[in-house]
Amino acid sequence: MSKFIRLSSLTSLILLTACGSGGGGGDDEDNKPPASYSFTVQSLIKNSCGETSAYADAQVFLQDENWQVISEHPVDNEGLVEINSTNDKINFTILAAYKGDNGIESYQAVSYYQVDTDIKATYYATHADKLDNSTCECITQDVVLSHINSNNIQNAISSAEFESYELVDGVTTTFKQVESCKVKGQEWAEHSFAVYDLEEGFVGFHQDFSATDNGSWQVFDNGSGIAVSFNRKDMNMTTSQIFNQTRHFTKTALAETNETIIFENHKFSGETLYSASADFIFKEESSPFGSVSLKSRETVFSQDYNESLAVKPSEDDENIDYITWAEIEASGAYDYSKVSKHKMAVISYIFDAKNPDTELDMPVLWTSYGPIEGQLPMNTLLPGFEDIVDGDTDIDVTRVNLLRHHSFDNYQEYINYYTNLGHADVSQQMDKTNDTVHQYFVELVK
């Protein structure tokens, strides 16, 4: 039998196939248009009173799985951009103008790997010149806290910013230059003011920060704390409480002690989430490559303060290479999969870039959120950004943060959470429920 089909027969076969072999027509999956998914990014900036507004000096790059740029999308005047994709998971990078504490105009980039398109991405910009504080009302005065007698006060802490404190006598402590801010027309946030000695503590709350004639606010204690023991004598431990979307009673118990003060008796005790974190430091030293460090950290969020105090960072360094950084290749491929049960790698570079117009130093921060093993986006040139960061740009600082949330089961939960949250680290997260978070931190500063 001939192996060749006559041209007329082949043509008939093609036509027959295109028509669905004589069937109903239009049901062929190959003829359907590709699915379309809509993805939204919101760029915001937060002012001194915590109010957010649109930040329009940002753009979004849609990228493929290898970080090659597919399309570029500037945000609009509302800081919003909607991107259509034929994939239900996408890679993208947000690039925004940045101005931090050093006062240098620069850029920040944040990249996310394989985000579900039904997740709304949030970016919080940092730029001192573009803050709009016109809606804020701020005031600075002293707070005078009257409390139960104690002649051995060790420290004073507050959820509000203040310059210093002064022990007036055994029953009075003054918090100097307390600053409180609110959105005009809204209520003041309620802040805590606490003092403690080695055995107990006393706390008062204040909400109305309107100016007074004598330049101070009077606060009386209506809560207390007690000394609680823990078993981590070899590590510093930082504790705090989260309620009313604010962190309260943040304090650090040093390694040489095994006790801390927990404010367990106050009017918000029933709605408090206790947080405690401790570090185990493997290495902090200089090397031929620069200053290097490696540490693990565990943070526990719990409604039971005893559970939060049971933090136990790993004392196994998992053979992480902090000297030659063998886990990160020159090509941008990285592999930290040997680190047990950690699912996400947050890797940041601070590039030693130059302003192309002035040739002045312009450090650029670029952070990538990805799986524990993958490819970094920093090796990919971004259109319009090639003159600032390219393959020859030196890296001054490299930071690696390997994450394990006990409440997450897979990488998709990590990336969706952090994309929506807006690149906030664990210490800043206010939306936590009961959870344990374990991290490994590796840093190289040249």
Tell me the per-residue pLDDT of 149-168, one tens digit each, with 9 for 90 and over: 988 999 999 999 999 999 99
Question: Does pLDDT of 304 surpass 80?
Answer: yes
Nearest to 309 by CA among 250, 248, 257, 238: 238
Confidence band for 297, pLDDT divided at 50, 70 and 90: very high
* Structure token digits, residue 249: 């009673």
pLDDT in the model for residue 28: 60
Question: Can you tell me the distance from the alpha carbon of 155 to that of 159, in angstroms, rounded to the nearest whole number?
Answer: 14
The three-state secondary structure class of 14 is: helix
Mean pLDDT over 56-64 rounds to 98
What is the overall mean pLDDT for the chain? 91
Mean pLDDT of the 231-241 span: 85
Secondary structure tally for the chain: helices H, strands E? 3, 27
Encode pLDDT of 177-216 as tens digits. Answer: 999 999 999 999 999 999 999 999 999 999 999 999 999 9
Q: How are strands ordered across the β-sheet holding 364-371?
A: 69-74, 58-63, 89-99, 105-116, 364-371, 344-351, 395-405, 435-445, 290-302, 273-287, 237-243, 246-253
Could you tell me the pLDDT band of residue 427, with boundaries at 50, 70 and 90? Answer: confident
* Model pLDDT for residues 76-121, shown as the tens digit of each residue: 999 999 999 999 999 999 999 999 888 899 999 999 999 999 999 9
Q: Are 210 and 220 in contact (CB under 8 A)?
A: no
**For position 1, what pLDDT does the model report?**
35
- Determine the Cα–Cα distance for residues 330 and 426; give it in Å rounded to an integer: 29
Pair of tokens at residue 49: 């009173």
SS3 call for 397: strand
**Average pLDDT value for residue range 6-27:** 39
Q: Quick one: average pLDDT of 45-74?
A: 96
Least confident interval from 136-140, 146-150, 169-173, 230-234: 230-234
Rounded distance between C-alpha atoms, residue 189 and residue 181, angstroms: 8
- Convert the chain into a string of H (helix), E (strand) and C (coil): CCCCCCHHHHHHHHHHHHCCCCCCCCCCHHHCCCCCEEEEEEEEEECCCCCEEECCCEEEEEECCCCCEEEEEECCCCCEEEEEECCCEEEEEEEEEEECCCCCEEEEEEEEEEEECCCCEEEEECEHHHCCCCCEEEEEEEEEEECCCCCCCCEEEECCECCEEEEEECCEEEEEEEEEEEECCCCCCCEEEEEECCCEEEEEEECCCCCCCCCEEEEECCEEEEEEECCCCCCCEEEEEEECCEEEEEEEECCCCCEEEEEEECCCHHHCEEEEEEEEEEEEEEECCEEEEEEEEEEEEECCHHHHCCCCCCCCCCCCCCCCCCCECCCCEEECCCCCCCCEEEEEEEECCECCCCCCECCEEEEEEEECEEECHHHCCCCCCCCCCCCCCCEEEEEEEEEEECCCCCHHHHHHHHHHHCCCCHHHCCCCCCEEEEEEEEEEEC
Residue with structure tokens 């379309």?
36
290 vs 275, higher pLDDT = 275
> What pLDDT is recorded for position 4?
28
pLDDT for the residue 255:
77
- Amino acid 35: pLDDT: 85
Q: Which residues, other chains included, contact 167 with Cβ-Cβ below 8 Å and sequence gap of 6+?
A: 153, 173
Cα four-point dihedral sign 293, 92, 95, 75:
negative
Structure tokens at 231: 């078993």
pLDDT score of 151: 82
pLDDT > 50? residue 21 = no
* Residue 234 pLDDT level (bands cut at 50, 70, 90): confident
Q: Quick one: average pLDDT of 130-135?
A: 92
How many Cβ atoms from other residues are within 10 Å of residue 252's Cβ?
14
Q: Which pLDDT band holds residue 20 (cuts at 50, 70, 90)?
A: very low
CB-based contact 440:320 (threshold 8 Å):
yes
pLDDT for the residue 11: 35
pLDDT tens digits, one per residue of 356-388: 888 899 999 999 999 999 999 999 999 999 999
* Percent with pLDDT over 90 in the chain: 80
Query: Could you identify the residue written with the tokens 């409440």?
Result: 407
pLDDT at 265 over 90: yes
Q: What is the pLDDT of residue 29?
A: 60
